Amino acid sequence: MSNADISWRPIRRLLIANRGEIACRIARTARARGITAVGVYSDADRHAPHVAACDVAVSLGGSTPAESYLRLDAVVNAAVRTGCDAVHPGYGFLAERADAARAVIEAGLVWVGPTPEQIEQLGDKVAAKRLAIDAGVPTTSIVEIDDPSDHAAVLGSCAGLAFPLLVKAAAGGGGRGMRIVVGPDDLATACESAAREAEAAFGDPRLFIEPFLAGGRHIEVQIMGDRHGNVIHLGDRDCSIQRRNQKVVEEAPAPHLDDATRAALRTGAVALAQHVGYEGAGTVEFLVGVDGTITFLEVNTRLQVEHPVTEAITGCDLVDLQIIVASGDPLPLSQNDVAIDGHAVEVRIVAEDPAAGWVPSTGTLSAFEVPAGVRVDTGVQPGTQVSTDYDSLLAKVIAHAGSREQAIDRLGAALRATRITGVRTNLAMLSAVCADGDFIDGGVGTDYLPAHPDVVAATGFGRGLDVHLVAATLSAMDANRAADHVWGFVPAGWRNMRTRGARRRWIAEDGSMHGVEYRVIPAGYEMLIGDWPEPGDDGTLGEDLRFAVTVVVTASGVEIDGVHHRCRREVDGDTVTVTTVAGTASWRCAPTFSDHDAAATGAGPIAPLPGTVIAVAVDAGDRVAADDLLMVIEAMKMEHRVTAPTDAVVAAVRFAVGDRVDMGDLLVELDDVADDEGDQ
């Protein structure tokens, strides 16, 4: 059975089988069409924005995806019991599952997406490769891996191939089950890890290997088809800036493509869609090498996360087109009707720390503010609990303008003025991308982030370091005075000795330390910013000291040396978050006295975030070398490898496969190798 087998009827009630920003996004279009939006939610999402965005919402129970959004029977039942005509899967979860499409159709409902057969054909990347070759789409050959644990067979299958290679899961998407391998020594480990991740994410551990075009660009083409045989493309997108093979920055149209390459990509995408009679929205993805080589990657049989940039430059509502096609109507526009207007850039704000290896951050959002002038697709709000059970995406921010340069400038300004507190984010990194010359020039490859460590480690205060330190210090002073019911009346920074002022040390997000000395003067405060002599030093001031006079607090910010700077400040315990025109950064006040007993605690790596142990690579008594794998933790749908910090002997393994760990838990106790040898 397919959508075509169901008697045609207009969609008046739509179940959205998803959560977060995409559920809010679909609900917005449904309301605009006069369609009743029906949502679903887990126990953890009872108060989530996507529930409020829907007219009706059904509880699925549970907290994890497996207990809620991935329960196909519960989702279909929710649609039937609320009288829905159709189900829209969004992206992720059930979106690329043929069995989900079949279950919806067999229940007498319309599946907003391609047919189950098309999902099976194109969702399997190996089968999709064969179809692409049949349709004349540019691509390269692949090597299929039957048993990832058979290291000898894997190496033998790849004999003669030039490294680097790309290991990919045959099913699913989103960068999961994908590894770049630079040499034969890493191939077996990469295959095992990719297969394990693919099994966990898609229930299918099958892999294949293909050449990896180092420095290539990830270009994709948006397609839309109907059941009447019409297929069009809506332009192309560049999604080359990625971390862990997942997109972070996307733009449309793809910059600096020659006409012949752009035409080949668009023609190939439409040809493949016509070859299978594609229905609905889809994306055909390619890798374009620095020499112009085009390699077909895969087809995503769903709406893409980055679809807003295509909507911006074409003026088309892709969700609206999906609903029209699913209702059985022909596409309301032809290829000649598609016009490209200007340029659009999108960034994904995620709850992760780029400088710490993209470790996810969890917690409760205390502030979430993005200025006007850009499109914001989000499913969070102040008070939202960010957990390890779901994807780390907080929001997408999209800027559209007449030119690429204007779009980047508009986006960068918005990001610098954005305020998100309660979790660590990649906001500073995204701001740095918008200011980076290589990105502004256009045409960067998938190796952009590894080649730009300064962008990844961006702190968020840019050239406004002094303003941030002054604002953080003033905030801490105000908080201390408000909490002191005895001496709160004494001016902050006041001392009965004029030899020195009060001092604070601030720890930046990158771990660097910055000192501030301040004292009261009639006009406001005097501040010495930088490093000051420690006890025993000769008292000479360092060359990097900057002396700021006449620091005055104003209603909208601070005045330093007669120059006013607009800023916002938020205090949370010993951390102050400051937002200025240069960006947003959090500063932690260093303790005045060190805890010397801390060094006496057990040594070894700690959990960087809450999660579940999915692999343990060592036993007590094993000797390990620096960077050897100790344990693998899964959180936010991603694997996080825990390695040995130095050569050591494993004293104890504190957690087993399946155990939950909290941030800061000691995972593996390590002894010094010298101590072990001395015990022999």
Question: Helix 116-123 vs helix 125-134: angle between axes, to the nearest 10 degrees?
Answer: 90
pLDDT tens, 406-455? 999 999 999 999 999 889 899 999 999 999 999 999 999 999 999 999 99
- Rounded CA-CA distance 647/584 in Å is 38
Which of 206-215, 338-347, 522-531 is the least confident region?
A: 522-531
* Cα atoms in the 13 Å half-sphere on the side-chain side of 101: 25
Using alpha carbons, select from 1, 25, 274 the residue that is nearest to residue 116: 1
State yes or no: pLDDT of 66 exceeds 60. Answer: yes
pLDDT tens, 546-564? 555 578 888 888 888 889 9
Q: Where are the domains of the chain?
A: 3-112, 121-211, 217-456, 465-589, 601-678
Q: Is 652 exposed, middle or buried (0-12, 13-18, 19+ CB in 10 A)?
A: middle
pLDDT tens, 68-80? 999 999 999 999 9
pLDDT for residue 665: 85
- Topology, domain 465-589: Glycoprotein, Type 4 Pilin (3.30.700)
Q: Give strand pairing partners of 527.
A: 518, 548
Alpha-helical regions (H) of 533-672: none
- Topology, domain 601-678: OB fold (Dihydrolipoamide Acetyltransferase, E2P) (2.40.50)
pLDDT for residue 600: 35
Of the pLDDT bands very low, low, confident and very high (cuts 50, 70, 90), residue 279 is very high
Nearest 10 degrees: CA dihedral of 248, 253, 254, 256? -140
State yes or no: pLDDT of 584 exceeds 70. Answer: yes
Q: Which range scores top for mean pLDDT: 132-141, 284-293, 338-347?
A: 338-347
Cβ pair 577, 569 in contact under 8 A:
yes
Q: What is the average pLDDT across 363-373?
A: 94
CATH number for the segment(s) 3-112? 3.40.50.20
State yes or no: pLDDT of 539 exceeds 50. Answer: no
State yes or no: pLDDT of 497 exceeds 70. Answer: no
CATH number for the segment(s) 217-456? 3.30.470.20
Domain 217-456 and domain 465-589 have a common topology: no
pLDDT for residue 48: 96
Q: What is the average pLDDT across 226-251?
A: 95
33-58 per-residue burial string, b: 16 or more CB within 10 A, e: under 16: bebbbbbbbbebbeebbbbebbebbb
CATH number for the segment(s) 121-211? 3.30.1490.20
